[in-house]
Amino acid sequence: MDSTELHVIFGTGPLGKWTARELVKMGKRVRMINRSGKAKDLPVEVELVQSDAYDTQKNIELTRGATTIYQCAQPAYHEWAEKFPPLQKAILDAAIANDAKFVAAENIYMYGDTRGAVMNETTPHHAQTKKGRVRAAMSEQIFDAVRHGTLRTAVVRGSDFFGPEDPIYAELFFEPALNGKRVQMLGRLDVPHTWTYAPDFGKALAIVGTREEAMGQVWHVPSDKAITQQQLLDLISAQVNKPVQVMRANKFMLRALGIFVRNVREIVEMYYEFEQPFVMDSRKFTRTFGMEPTPLRESVRETLAWHRSQHATHETNAPQLATV
């Protein structure tokens, strides 16, 4: 392990974990920071620290001497407008104070509704949604610091991502499919949609954070060819060896459910992603760094295998009835 090179990751969700795993493979020293000081299934080499990422001074202390800082933390979906910008600024200010490289994990909300046009790293920011405008403003804040010469940074953007440990699509797709229940999908099933695999996202973040030539640029995570939601259903069905039934949620259903569930209410404004082609071009990353995306057939198989393993673990650890 290269004990002279410290990489600090804020957030221990799927992206933070997969970034840490890749950095450990590279022999880097890794520190992760979250609110609880607890996280499952991290490499034993990772140092986990409990802290409040909104505390700029604490962030400066915990990242002192860091080569690269990774921003993989985020507040609850319905709290983005109020809490996301100050969270990022507190981490960004620590990177500036310690002259560390800053790598931000982003999505592609800031591009807005492109009417089906393919999105690449030069697509203008034309967000029409609240969360898209938040993302655009945060990304612009990062590059403002670059223009002022106070920050070395790169941002890595992925489309909707799934994979082992991701709770969102686990609840919508993978757990229901394994349990013989209907999966829940949004909008049309017949338009292409780019899906990003969470382990690929983490790998891309680690590559960018360790390559000086990546600085100052936007990068899209290598993602397999866009497929329709029906094709994704077919891949899932093939892996569970039975047809998967689907329940399609329209805007009316989401608004009705959103009365009781705030995160569901927040999905409504992003519904355009599933009414027309939503396609992200990630060839720039592959051309530059040689990283190819995991094929969707394989990523679906690996995700379902991970969920099966979790079921097996829970069954093994469940209390057993005594027999006589």
Domain boundaries, the chain: 2-160+197-221
pLDDT in tens, 147-161: 988 899 999 999 999
Query: pLDDT category, 250, cuts 50, 70, 90?
Result: confident
> Can you give the chain as a three-state secondary structure string?
CEEEEEEEEECCCHHHHHHHHHHHHCCEEEEEEECCCCCCCCCCCCEEEECCCCCHHHHHHHCCCEEEEEECCCCCHHHHHHHHHHHHHHHHHHHHHCCCEEEEEECCHHHCCCCCCCECCCCCCCCCCHHHHHHHHHHHHHHHHHHCCCCCEEEEECCEEECCCCHHHHHHHHHHHHCCCCEEEECCCCCEECEEEHHHHHHHHHHHHCCHHHCCCEEECCCCCCEEHHHHHHHHHHHHCCCCCEEEECHHHHHHHHCCCHHHHHHHHHHHHHCCCECECCHHHHHHHCCCCCCHHHHHHHHHHHHHHHHHHHHHHCCCCCCC
- For residue 161, the model assigns a pLDDT of 96
pLDDT in tens, 19-48: 999 999 999 999 999 999 999 999 999 999
CATH level 3 topology of 2-160+197-221: Rossmann fold (3.40.50)
Query: pLDDT category, 222, cuts 50, 70, 90?
Result: very high
Query: pLDDT category, 67, cuts 50, 70, 90?
Result: very high
Instruction: Inform me whether the pLDDT recorded for 3 exceeds 60.
Output: no
Instruction: Inform me whether the pLDDT recorded for 131 exceeds 70.
Output: yes
Q: Please, what is the average pLDDT of the chain?
A: 92
290 burial type by CB count under 10 A (0-12 exposed, 13-18 middle, 19+ buried): exposed
Spatial distance between the Cα atoms of 7 and 23, rounded to a whole number of angstroms: 8
Instruction: Inform me whether the pLDDT recorded for 7 exceeds 60.
Output: yes
- For residue 237, the model assigns a pLDDT of 97
Higher pLDDT among residues 262 and 203, named by residue: 203
Instruction: Inform me whether the pLDDT recorded for 317 exceeds 60.
Output: no
Spatial distance between the Cα atoms of 103 and 130, rounded to a whole number of angstroms: 23
Query: pLDDT category, 249, cuts 50, 70, 90?
Result: confident
Instruction: Inform me whether the pLDDT recorded for 266 exceeds 80.
Output: no
Instruction: Inform me whether the pLDDT recorded for 294 exceeds 80.
Output: yes
